[in-house]
């Protein structure tokens, strides 16, 4: 396959406010972090996802400073872009109090807030063993970050072991150009990389990498948690994941132009009437990458233009293969452009993650 051409955005330096843990604000000229761009997929629906567009831009170098930026706003819905630089860890992430925030130690809390962009500077910021928790929130953009080794057991713990977790009526989240990484499964103390529960809707995960985890992510935490829906996954790399790429309990999802490699047990797991449209993905060196697994509560899929290379289908449950065919049809309400499936590994390698300068596919292969 030929190397793809990709589109990139070049930005000038801008004046931003720097907030100290004590709440002192100064303005300085700093190198650019990134432009949020335009939300795609289901995050573009329900009024769209614009994050902190139109609000103040603040530079944060610690988790405490992220919380301070949220708490220093006039109101919990005042737009803000928080540019993150360096490494966020437990030692520098403490609770901050205020009328426009609800924060905690050892986790980045986007709780009961709206109109927020959290974006890494330059080649991206690193959240090391500190997860991002989005709860009762709306219109959130998370971009150009690495979130790694978040644990639910052992030391230290954060965010129930989820790299990014959303719950309780969350609406309109765009997660883009991220690296979400674990170092094992539940027995090593980790949970999911990208989880949604308790009524989360209108979410897009794009141009990101998910690696080395027992669990890629879920949509719905139990068979009674069926109000989560409208999720798009595109141009992501799933590599060395045991299961849940994602697990869908009811709801509707769209997954296109993703590269799945070394899915070790099961992949896209549609249950409880879930419907997923699977377009122009590249699946390779994997086991049971699509179907209904570990239950008889069937889900359904529409498959178009995918490549299945070196796939093992040996589940006793309800795999889509060895000859994957559509069992439903899924209407998509937004416009989207598909790269040819044979181009996907190269396109994703050149564009996904927090060190690609927000590169995106321009449709060439």
Residue 41 DSSP class: G
Cα separation, 287 vs 197, in Å, equals 26
Q: Nearest to residue 333, comparing CAs of 249, 265, 277?
A: 277
The length of the chain is 365
Helical H runs in the chain? 63-71, 344-351
Cα separation, 310 vs 327, in Å, equals 23
Here the tokens at position 217 are 């992510």
Phi, psi dihedral angles at 351 (to 5 degrees): -125, -25
Here the tokens at position 59 are 């530079």
Q: Which residues pair with 141 in a beta bridge?
A: 117, 174
Distance of CA 273 to the CA centre of its chain: 23
Q: Nearest to residue 292, comparing CAs of 268, 322, 328?
A: 268
Q: Which residues contact 24 (CB under 8 A, 6 or more apart)?
A: none
Hunting for tokens 């426009």 — which residue is that? 100
5 is catalytic: no
Q: Cβ–Cβ contacts within 10 Å for residue 310, how many? A: 9
Hunting for tokens 């564009």 — which residue is that? 351
Q: Which of 215, 244, 271, 277 is catalytic?
A: 244
Using alpha carbons, list the distances in angstroms from residue 146 to 5, 99, 103, 255, 258.
24, 29, 21, 22, 19
Q: Nearest to residue 330, comparing CAs of 292, 303, 290?
A: 303
Cα separation, 82 vs 194, in Å, equals 21
Q: Nearest to residue 204, comparing CAs of 183, 178, 225?
A: 178
Q: Which residues pair with 206 in a beta bridge?
A: 176, 234
Residues classed as catalytic:
244
């Amino acid at each position: 396959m030929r190397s793809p051409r990709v589109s990139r955005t070049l930005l000038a330096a801008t004046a931003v406010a720097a907030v100290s843990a004590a709440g002192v604000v100064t303005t300085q000229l700093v190198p650019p972090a990134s432009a949020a761009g335009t939300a795609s997929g289901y995050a573009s629906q329900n009024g769209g996802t614009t994050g902190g567009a139109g609000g103040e831009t603040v530079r944060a170098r610690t988790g405490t400073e992220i919380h301070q930026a949220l708490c220093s706003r006039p109101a919990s819905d005042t737009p803000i872009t928080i540019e993150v630089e360096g490494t966020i860890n437990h030692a520098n992430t403490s609770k901050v109090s205020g009328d426009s925030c609800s924060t905690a130690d050892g986790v980045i809390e986007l709780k009961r807030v709206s109109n927020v962009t959290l974006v890494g500077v330059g080649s991206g910021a690193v959240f090391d063993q500190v997860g991002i928790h989005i709860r009762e929130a709306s219109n959130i953009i998370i971009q150009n970050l690495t979130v790694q080794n978040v644990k639910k057991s052992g030391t230290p713990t954060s965010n129930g072991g989820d790299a990014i977790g959303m719950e309780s009526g969350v609406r309109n989240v765009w997660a883009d150009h991220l690296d979400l990484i674990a170092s094992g499964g539940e027995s090593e103390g980790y949970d999911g990389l990208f989880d949604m529960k308790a009524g989360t809707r209108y979410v897009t995960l794009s141009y990101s990498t998910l690696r080395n985890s027992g669990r890629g992510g879920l949509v719905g935490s139990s068979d009674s948690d069926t109000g989560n829906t409208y999720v798009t996954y595109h141009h992501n790399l799933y590599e060395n994941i045991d299961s849940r790429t994602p697990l869908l309990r009811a709801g509707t999802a769209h997954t296109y132009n993703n590269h799945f490699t070394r899915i070790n047990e099961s992949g896209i797991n549609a249950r409880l009437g879930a419907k997923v449209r699977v377009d122009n993905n590249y699946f390779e060196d994997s086991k049971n990458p699509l179907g209904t697994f570990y239950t008889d509560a069937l889900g359904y899929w529409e498959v178009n233009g995918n490549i299945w290379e070196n796939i093992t289908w040996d589940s006793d449950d309800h795999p889509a293969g060895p000859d994957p065919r559509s069992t439903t049809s899924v209407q998509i309400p937004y416009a989207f452009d598909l790269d040819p499936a044979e181009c996907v590994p190269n396109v994703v390698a050149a564009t996904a993650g927090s060190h690609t300068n927000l590169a995106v596919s321009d449709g060439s292969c």
